[in-house]
Amino acid sequence: MFSLPQPSVYQTSKCFITYGSMAHVEQGKLPTKGKPWHPILQQGFNHKIDLVLPEECYELVKQKLVEQRCPPVYHRVIMTLGQILDGLFFNEYIKKGNILMLSEGRTTVENVFSLREGLLTMYLDKETYERAGLVGKPHGAKGGRGLKPRWIVSYQLRDPSMFHGKKGFDRLVYACKNVLNRPLTWLFCDLSPTSPDPDPLQQYAPVKFTSNPGLSPAVQVEMPTLAMPSEILAHGNRSDLEDFATEIYEWFSLVRLESPRVAANDDIDSYLSRYRVPSDAGPTVQSKVCKVTWQGFVTADWVRGLLVDVLATLPSRAWFSLSATSFSKGLNKGDSAEVAFLRPPNSPGQYLLWEIKGEDS
Q: What digits encode the pLDDT tens for the residues 281-324?
A: 788 899 999 999 999 999 999 999 999 999 989 999 999 999 99
Quote the CA–CA distance of 197 and 226 in Å, as a whole number.
Answer: 51
Q: What is the pLDDT of residue 286?
A: 94
Quote the CA–CA distance of 50 and 55 in Å, as a whole number.
Answer: 15
Q: Taking residues 68-87, what's their average pLDDT? A: 93
Q: Taking residues 138-143, what's their average pLDDT? A: 68
- In 10 A of CB 329, how many CB atoms? 20
CB 361 within 8 A of CB 337: yes
Is a pLDDT exceeding 90 seen at residue 328?
Answer: no
Q: What is the pLDDT of residue 3?
A: 33
Strands (E), 224-284: none
Sorting pLDDT into bands at 50, 70 and 90, what band is 332? low
User: Among residues of the chain, what percentage have pLDDT more than 70?
Assistant: 91
Quote the CA–CA distance of 149 and 38 in Å, as a whole number.
Answer: 31
Q: Taking residues 99-127, what's their average pLDDT? A: 92
Sorting pLDDT into bands at 50, 70 and 90, what band is 114? very high
Q: What is the pLDDT of residue 335?
A: 65
Q: Taking residues 234-246, what's their average pLDDT? A: 86
Q: What is the pLDDT of residue 5?
A: 38
Q: Taking residues 138-142, what's their average pLDDT? A: 72
Handedness of CA 108, 113, 119, 124 (dihedral sign): positive
Q: Taking residues 101-108, what's their average pLDDT? A: 89
Sorting pLDDT into bands at 50, 70 and 90, what band is 1? very low
Strand order in the sheet with 150-156: 137-139, 150-156, 119-125, 112-116, 99-103, 184-190, 73-79, 207-210
Q: Taking residues 209-222, what's their average pLDDT? A: 93
Q: Taking residues 82-103, what's their average pLDDT? A: 93
CB 47 within 8 A of CB 293: no
Q: Which helix (H) or strand (E) holds 81?
A: helix 81-84
Is pLDDT larger for residue 74 or for residue 27?
74
Sorting pLDDT into bands at 50, 70 and 90, what band is 157? very high
Is a pLDDT exceeding 70 seen at residue 252?
Answer: yes
Q: What is the pLDDT of residues 2-61, one digit of tens each?
A: 333 334 444 457 889 999 998 888 766 788 888 999 999 998 899 999 999 999 999 999
User: Among residues of the chain, what percentage have pLDDT more than 90?
Assistant: 63
Sorting pLDDT into bands at 50, 70 and 90, what band is 261? very high
Q: Taking residues 232-237, what's their average pLDDT? A: 80
Q: Mind giving me the DSSP string for 156-179?
A: ETTSTT-STTSHHHHHHHHHHHHT
Q: Which residues pair with 252 in a beta bridge?
A: none
Q: What is the pLDDT of residue 321?
A: 97
Q: Mind giving me the DSSP string for 15-63?
A: EEEEEEE-----TT----SSTTHHHHHH--EEEEEEEEEEGGGHHHHII
Strands (E), 105-213: 112-116, 119-125, 137-139, 150-156, 184-190, 207-210
Quote the CA–CA distance of 130 and 59 in Å, as a whole number.
Answer: 56
CB 124 within 8 A of CB 157: no
Q: Taking residues 218-238, what's their average pLDDT? A: 87
| Residue 255 CB-density burial (10 A; 0-12 exposed, 13-18 middle, 19+ buried) | buried
Is a pLDDT exceeding 50 seen at residue 226?
Answer: yes
Is pLDDT larger for residue 178 or for residue 33?
178
* Domain limits, the chain: 14-71+213-357, 73-210
Is a pLDDT exceeding 90 seen at residue 336?
Answer: no
